[in-house]
Chain A
Amino acid sequence: MNYDILITGLIIVAQILAVVVPVLISVAFLVYAERKVLALIQLRRGPNIVGPFGILQSFADALKLITKENIIPSGSNKIVFILAPIITMVLSLAGWAVIPFAPGWVVSDINVGIMYLFAVSSLGVYGIIMAGWASNSQYPFLGALRSAAQMVSYEVSIGFVIITVLLCVGSLNLTKIVLAQQTVWFAIPLLPMFIIFFISALAETNRLPFDLPEDESTLVAGFFTEYSSASFVLFFLGEYASMILMSSMTVILFLGGWLPPFDVYPLNVVPGVIWFTVKIIFILFLFIWVRGTFPRYRYDQLMRLGWKVFLPFSLFWVVATSGFLVYFEMLPN
C-alpha cells in the first residue's frame, strides 16, 4: 500500500478546507458588516439583538433559512432547478484555488492564474441563467435574460483591463502580477483602468447600482424568486463569496496583493496576509458604500455604459499602454 498518495491527498484536502472555511466565515461577517454599514448610512441601528452588537445575526439567519421548507415549484425543471444554486456556490468558491494570500500561500500556483479567475467569473452567469429558466416563471426568466446580457457585456471591458495589467507584468501568474507591483501599485499609473475594473466588478457580481437581475422593485426578486430555504442560502452565499473573490482580484491586479504600501520598517514586518485582508476589506467597504449611495441604473443606461463608454475607453488604454511601453522600452523582459 502506497501511503504517499494518501498523504498528498490529505494535504490537498486540508489546503482546500483552509481556504474555503475562512471564506465562508468571512461571508457571514460580510453580510453583517453590510447591514451595519447600510444602517449607519441611513441613520439606523442595524442588527443588534443576536450576540454582542448583533454580530451573530448572519448565523441566526442562515440557521433560520436552512430549517425552512425547501419548495420546488411543480412546473419547474427539477434537476436544473436544484443544480443552479449549487453551480453558483461551487464557482464562487472555485476561484479561490489560485488566489495568493501571501508569498507561497496559494493552493495552486498555476501559470495562467488570471485567465483561470477570468474563466471562473465568466462561468458565474450559468447559475443565474439556469435558475431563471428552470423556475418556469416570468420574473426569474426576465432576471436571467438581463443577467446574461449584462455579464457578457461587462466581461469584455474586464478582459481589456486585465490585458492592460498583463502588458505591464509580462506574465499571467498571479504571484508574478503581485511581485511586479513592488515599486508602484498599478492603481496609480493605471488609475482609470482601476476605476473601470471596480465598476465592472460591481456589474459582474450583480451588485447595486447594477443589480438588475434581482431588481426587487420590478422583478420581485429576479432570478431567485422561486427559491427558498437551503437553495436560497446557496445563492446568497455564492453572491457574497464572489463579491469577496472579485475584490481580491482587484487587490491582486491593482493594489499590490500582499505588499505593504511602503517598504519601510514598521509596515514591512506586518505579515502579507494581513495587508491582503485589509485591502480586501477596503474594497468590500467600497462595494457597500456604493450600494448605500447610488440609485439603480436603468437597463439601457447599463448597456450604454458597458458598450459605449467602457469598451472604447479600455480599448484605447490597451493601445496607449502598449504604445507607451514600446516607445520607452519598458516592456517586461
Chain B
Amino acid sequence: MILYSLTFYLFSSVAVLSALMVISAKNPVHSVLFLILSFVNASGLFVLLGAEFLAMILVVVYVGAVAVLFLFVVMMLDINFVKLREGFLQYLPFGALLGIVLVIELGILFLTDRSSNIYNNQTPLQPIVSEVENTKMIGQILYTEYFYLFQICGIILLVAMIGSITLTLRDKGGVKRQNIDSQNTVDASIAIEKKKVKIGEGI
C-alpha cells in the first residue's frame, strides 16, 4: 500500500516538475526532452490506475512518434535565445489569464459533489484488478457504443493527412527519380553497344 502511494507521488511530482521545466528551460531542445519525461511519468500514473493499455499507447504514440518529430523540428531550428526572451512581458498577461482560467476550472471541478465524493472516499491508491483485460474493455465500448464517433475521428484524421500531403507535395521540375522497374529490366543488349573503332580514328 505504502509502495503504491510512494510511486504515485514519485511519478506525479516528476511529471509536474518536468512540465514546469518545459516552459522554463532556456534551450528549446531541453524543453522537448522534459516534455518527453513528463509524458513517460504520466504513462506511469496510468499504470498505477490499472489502465495499462492507455499507458502503453501514450508511450508509443506521443513519446515514440509525436515527440520524435517535435525534437526533429526543434533541433533543426536556428534559435536566437535573446529574441526568444524578448516577447516575455508582451505575452505575460495572456498567459496569466489562461493559467487563472485553468486554476478556476480545476477548483470548480474539485468543489463539485461528484469529484469531492471520490476525494472523501479515501480510496487507497492501487491498481483496479479486473477479470477482463482493459484492452478488451476499451474495444468493447469503443466499437459498439461510440462506433460512429470513432469512425468520425478516423475521417477527420484522414482529411488532415490528405491536407498536409497536398500542402507539402510540390512537383518540382528537374528532380531525378529512380525507376526501379526500368533498371531491373535492363540487359546487355540495351546497356552495351558494340562498335568497331578504326585504328587512329576514334568514334
On whether A129 and B68 interact (CB within 8 A), knowing A115-B53, A171-B133, the answer reads yes
Please tell me if A145 contacts chain B, counting CB pairs below 8 Å. Answer: yes
Q: Bin chain A's interface residue count.
A: 20 to 34
A122 contacts partner chain B, Cβ-Cβ < 8 Å: yes
A10: chain B residues within 8 A (beta carbon): none
Q: Would you call B65 and A148 a contact (CB within 8 A)?
A: no
**Cβ B33 vs Cβ A130 within 8 A:** yes
Whether B65 and A152, one on each chain, are in contact in the complex, defined by CB atoms closer than 8 angstroms, is yes
Q: Closest approach, in angstroms, between the C-beta of B57 and any C-beta of chain A?
A: 7
Q: Which residues of B contact A5 (CB under 8 A)?
A: 3
For the complex, give the distance between the alpha carbons of A152 and B70 in Å.
Answer: 12
Q: A133-B29, A171-B133 are in contact. Are A122 and B71 (CB under 8 A)?
A: no
Complex Cα distance, B72 from A90, in Å, reads: 22
Q: Across the interface, which residues of A come within 8 angstroms of B178, CB to CB?
A: 300-301
Does A112 lie within 8 Å of B71, measured CB to CB?
Answer: no
B60 interface hit (Cβ, 8 Å): yes
A126 to B52: give the CA distance in the assembly, Å.
Answer: 22
Contacts of A172 in B (CB 8 A): 53, 133, 135
Contact A122 B65 (CB under 8 A): yes
CB neighbours of B53 from chain A (8 A): 111-112, 115, 172
* B-facing residues in A64-91 (Cβ within 8 Å): 77, 80
CA distance in complex: A119, B53 (Å): 11
**Which residues of chain A are within 8 angstroms of B60 by Cβ–Cβ distance?**
115, 118-119, 122, 159
The CA of A80 and the CA of B42, in the complex, are separated in Å by 22
Does A155 reach chain B (CB closer than 8 Å)? yes
**B56 interfacial contact with A, CB 8 Å:** yes
A265-B122 Cα distance, complex, nearest whole Å: 57
Q: In whole angstroms, how far apart are the Cα atoms of A333 and B192 in the complex?
A: 62
Q: Is there contact, CB below 8 Å, between A155 and B71?
A: no
How long is the Cα–Cα vector from A301 to B178 in the complex, in angstroms?
9
Tell me, yes or no, whether A123 is within 8 Å of chain B by CB.
yes
CB neighbours of A289 from chain B (8 A): none
Residue A232 is within 8 A (CB to CB) of chain B in the complex: no
User: Which of chain B's residues 29-80 have a Cβ closer than 8 Å to chain A?
Assistant: 29-30, 33, 36, 52-53, 55-57, 59-60, 63-65, 68-69, 71-72, 75-76
Chain B residues with CB under 8 Å of A145's CB are: 72, 75-76
* Complex alpha-carbon distance, A109 and B75, angstroms: 38
Q: Nearest Cβ distance between residue A243 and chain B, in whole angstroms?
A: 19
Q: A125–B68 contact, CB under 8 A?
A: yes
The answer to whether B68 and A116 have CB atoms under 8 Å apart is no
A168 at the interface (CB under 8 A from B): no
By a CB distance below 8 angstroms, the chain A residues around B55 are 112
Listed by A's residue number, 29 A-B pairs whose Cβ atoms lie within 8 Å are: A80-B29, A80-B30, A112-B53, A112-B55, A112-B56, A112-B135, A115-B53, A116-B56, A119-B59, A119-B60, A122-B59, A122-B60, A122-B63, A123-B59, A123-B63, A123-B64, A125-B64, A126-B36, A129-B75, A130-B33, A133-B29, A133-B71, A145-B75, A148-B68, A148-B72, A151-B68, A152-B65, A172-B135, A300-B178
Chain A residues within CB distance 8 Å of chain B: 5, 77, 80, 110-112, 115-116, 118-119, 122-123, 125-126, 129-130, 133, 141, 144-145, 148-149, 151-152, 155, 159, 171-172, 300-301
In the A-B complex, the 10 residue pairs with the smallest Cβ-Cβ separation, listed nearest first, are A122-B64, A115-B56, A119-B59, A112-B52, A111-B133, A119-B60, A112-B56, A148-B72, A133-B75, A119-B56
Other than A115-B57, A133-B29, A171-B133, give 13 A-B pairs with Cβ distance below 8 A: A80-B30, A111-B52, A111-B53, A112-B56, A119-B56, A123-B63, A125-B64, A144-B75, A145-B75, A152-B68, A152-B69, A300-B178, A301-B178
